[in-house]
Structure 1
């Protein structure tokens, strides 16, 4: 498979912190009430708390009142990372609007949206990756190779975490936020047992040809370079598996014990038992897989222009863990960026690692607020590298990637312009007033569908709309056709876009 579809679903933490002088002191708004404030514009816009938006992505409230954003289908890693970053921006806009509504109702304080994986009470929420793989891929072989890779991947792509002291361990720094909350290697469950690989097979495509690989072990990344390594290394391992390349035996005897042990050993030298006998370290497993991927790429060629960058960063990150010289990666890999900051603040203020200020700093690293969030502050100061341009992120807010998401985005935008109500999901497109003419688009790579075009033409003359393509609407700061006010003969007179 030369082309692949990628997607990531991100669950966000949500907190209301009341001001100290609030007339009604106490704890902030409960999660369910706060979530209703956050999603009020979404419900007003789409008459539901579970909607698709014109950039092709899905915005919804998940179990436990967690706001969630699922990127549009992407066939390019940069598109995927940009779409994910757009989700952060959308959540920030919603949080800002929620603060205003809360204030008008007599409350004060700030709304925080965190792109992390664990709250102060120890509850976990996820970042789920989706990879479209060939139906012909032997799942038993795939899982036997992929599980050891994913269990050890945290040392190259973890978000990092300050772990507070408990009765058994002292406060320390770990690679991963998610590792301690996984309970099975492979399962069909998601919340009950939290497997590393979820077997729910919903390809949102031709099921005879494609299978959906649903990975729920990953940490939410703030760093775009970490995201590139996370998705890019996984894609390369998958391609090697799909090609039938002999990989060797890295299967672990106890995957769940191993993922925890590895997370809490920052040297990468914790030894875990291999099913076939003997022991290996996380670095050895990653090195073994990296070397095989390097040989695979040398033989088959790079399938996109970022492959060499991914391989170089993968190798350098393993070297940083091996040598404990984290300066090799402390502007590129989330856990190392965060650890550098934590260490500096602890040293400057004479704080022990378990101090509550450092736990707060850990949380603040993941604040999506572009001015308040610590990761964003570090990036502005040159302490975190960036592979996206601001224009790419701005475009991703309104412009679907050139996959089936473009079909969905055009369908939603155009119907909105003509005041037509719709029902859509990843595959289906239906005008409420024409229920018998619903169109199913099963090809996730298709960025245009003649049946959709014909259906939309029945709404009215689309000439003026065609003159304003998505890029032009985005350049002028207009979220495409969210209201009928955006259809005008003079594009320069278009009003300001709404929050979404």
Structure 2
């Protein structure tokens, strides 16, 4: 099967809790957070040597967009590297605030909704063939994305209203979607964004921009989220008949499904049938299994994706969440909340449980509850720490991100002004020699080598320590790790 490039953009929640005084407003905290970024790149919107992009988005949300990847584990590693980078920036901001007489704690949350009900996103990008019929793609893909929350949602406690008590829902983003398909991103959030910016040869590729996804803490949840979506796209591109699941009202359906953990909530299709999320996901899963059996696995994690996809559907259908409560975010977090509620005699509307809901998404490796669950063996991992440390500085080796990373590192090593984006590579003093790299699958480009070689002498091959010194952050080096204070004893599981 053809290779695919994909990436994910993650917006982080940011808060500062002051000691003995009110914490800083998000925009002030964001300025502290991005001081090292601006010092490093003279901008709050930079590409970094691992090929990824780091920037402040609308509403002072720090955002990290992974490098383009053609391997699921590379994608997950690149995304997790973003967490480590943000955490280091948070630690630096906390220290700088303290030095300015503003002691307190900086919190960075990889979630999608704050305590005031504001939502921020986790957007997926899939490079698809220009020949893909977009109407057919959206007809099949929308029902899949509307129901995908039962296999990849982050879960949340929904506060009580006049009409309903507090309850647990599959998704954080479902209640904040307003259109099925649209060119908007913030004014009226669609499930699929139609803005066509392939960052590649537009005659060959187009970009599918999916806005509906929840941010995931769990690597195994990410695997099924991206892996199942990739399989559905491949079936659509191959012309595989996938049945008619087109929904009459996708926005009503996504909300209705999110708020019913039994999986029995029915929604209406355009032809008048009533279906559940389990019906749609089970049908597409069976098609995917047959597709893989006929065409073969296109990567070595396909069977793991199918297995986890199947167990998640079964868990919802049967109510036996233990099938996935170490691997799927909504189930991992629900198990923890249920245990604390039962032990303490709390209703779901209790403030303490809201705190647990938010603390699950705290990216701080010692403080965050998801990370504590991992250390306790109650949540699975796919990647080891060494691979995550490499992903902070090293771009994926099988896409053009490696060209971008090499250009950035070499230009900085020579001390020359430069600009890059997903496609363009330019030295400030040689604007007419800018190089466009449109093919996302190339891993070297003689034009880049020639351009940099003209700076004088041979290109510098940076050793790991030098690459570390050019990265954002400057964390996780051996020096940094050795000089950290000993970790305090772990608190009891809340």
Specify the TM-score bucket, using the shorter chain as the normaliser.
over 0.9
Q: Which residue of 2 aligns with 1:489?
A: none
8 Å contact kept, 2:266–2:274: yes
Q: Which residue of 1 aligns with 2:410?
A: 414
Q: Which residue of 1 aligns with 2:390?
A: 395
CA spacing shift, 1:421–1:132, aligned 2, 3 Å: same
Q: Deviations over 1:116-153 (max 9, x none)?
A: 00000000000000000000000000000000000000
Distance in 2 separating the partners of 1:495 and 1:215:
40
**Structure 2 residue 180 is the aligned partner of structure 1 residue 170:** no
For residue 329 of structure 1, the aligned residue among 316, 324, 347 is: 324
Distance in 1 separating the partners of 2:175 and 2:285:
25
Q: Which residue of 2 aligns with 1:46?
A: 41
Distance in 2 separating the partners of 1:73 and 1:141:
25
Distance in 2 separating the partners of 1:495 and 1:159:
35
Q: Deviations over 1:262-308 (max 9, x none)?
A: 00000111000011121000000000111111111111111011000
Residue 6 of structure 1 and its aligned partner are, at CA, apart by 0.6
Give the paired residue count.
Answer: 477
Residue 350 of structure 1 and its aligned partner are, at CA, apart by 1.1
Q: Which residue of 1 aligns with 2:290?
A: 295
8 Å contact kept, 2:392–2:471: no
For residue 101 of structure 2, the aligned residue among 103, 106, 111 is: 106
Q: Which residue of 1 aligns with 2:435?
A: 439
Residue 18 of structure 1 and its aligned partner are, at CA, apart by 1.1
Q: Which residue of 2 aligns with 1:451?
A: 447
Q: Which residue of 2 aligns with 1:479?
A: 468
Q: Which residue of 2 aligns with 1:227?
A: 222
**Structure 2 residue 360 is the aligned partner of structure 1 residue 365:** yes
Distance in 1 separating the partners of 2:98 and 2:9:
30
Q: Which residue of 1 aligns with 2:491?
A: none
Residue 496 of structure 1 and its aligned partner are, at CA, apart by 6.8
Residue 478 of structure 1 and its aligned partner are, at CA, apart by 4.5
For residue 76 of structure 2, the aligned residue among 78, 81, 91 is: 81
Q: Which residue of 2 aligns with 1:347?
A: 342
8 Å contact kept, 1:331–1:384: yes
- Unaligned residue ranges in structure 1 (runs of 5+): 486-491
Query: 3-state SS of the aligned residue for 1:316?
Result: helix
Residue 461 of structure 1 and its aligned partner are, at CA, apart by 2.4
Q: Which residue of 2 aligns with 1:488?
A: none
For residue 28 of structure 2, the aligned residue among 33, 36, 58 is: 33
Q: Which residue of 2 aligns with 1:273?
A: 268
1:61-210 equivalences in 2 (<5 Å)? 61-210=56-205
Q: Deviations over 1:199-218 (max 9, x none)?
A: 00000000000000000000
Residue 482 of structure 1 and its aligned partner are, at CA, apart by 5.2
8 Å contact kept, 2:153–2:213: yes
Residue 462 of structure 1 and its aligned partner are, at CA, apart by 3.1
8 Å contact kept, 1:477–1:496: no
CA spacing shift, 1:157–1:367, aligned 2, 3 Å: same
Distance in 1 separating the partners of 2:467 and 2:359:
31
TM-score by length of 2: 0.95
Distance in 2 separating the partners of 1:277 and 1:163:
30
8 Å contact kept, 1:416–1:482: no
- Unaligned residue ranges in structure 2 (runs of 5+): 482-494
8 Å contact kept, 2:149–2:171: yes
Distance in 2 separating the partners of 1:496 and 1:163:
40
Residue 460 of structure 1 and its aligned partner are, at CA, apart by 2.2
Q: Deviations over 1:140-172 (max 9, x none)?
A: 000000000000000000000011111221100
Q: Deviations over 1:453-473 (max 9, x none)?
A: 11011112235x33x4xxx51
Residue 61 of structure 1 and its aligned partner are, at CA, apart by 0.2
Q: Which residue of 1 aligns with 2:484?
A: none
TM-score by length of 1: 0.93
Q: Which residue of 1 aligns with 2:487?
A: none
Residue 234 of structure 1 and its aligned partner are, at CA, apart by 0.0
